[in-house]
């Protein structure tokens, strides 16, 4: 799977044909412990990079638990 961020800050999550087949068959994404470590490291890196393309207004927005 690939996260493809656009210049306006939005993002597409794309899957390969093999990934789509697996998702259709299993209805889930499974990670080994090592795979989850790599995925989480990549995800944190992406979150930091994503923030750079957000407008200042979006960067300042916060989430609530509601």
What is the 3-class SS of the chain, one letter each residue? Answer: CEEEECCCCCEEEECCHHHHHHHHHHCCCCCCHHHHHHHHHHHHHHHHHHHHHCCHHHHHCCCCCC
Residue 36 has a pLDDT of: 95
Residue 42 lies in a domain: yes
Residue 39 lies in a domain: yes
Residue 66 lies in a domain: no
Number of domains in the chain: 1
Give the model confidence (pLDDT) of 7-60 as tens digits.
888 889 899 999 999 999 999 989 999 999 998 998 888 888 888 888 888 888
Residue 65 lies in a domain: no
Structural domain harbouring 11: 2-60
Please state the pTM of the whole predicted model. Answer: 0.61
Range 26-57 burial, b when 16+ CB lie within 10 A, else e: eeeeeeeeeeeeeeeeeeeeeeeeeeeeeeee
Answer whether residue 65 shows pLDDT above 80: no
């Amino acid at each position: 799977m690939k996260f493809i961020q656009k210049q306006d800050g939005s993002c597409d999550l794309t899957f390969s044909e093999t990934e789509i087949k697996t998702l259709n068959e299993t209805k889930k994404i499974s990670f080994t412990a090592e795979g989850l470590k790599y995925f989480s490291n990549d995800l944190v890196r992406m979150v930091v990079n994503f923030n750079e393309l957000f407008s200042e207004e979006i960067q300042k927005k916060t989430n609530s638990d509601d």
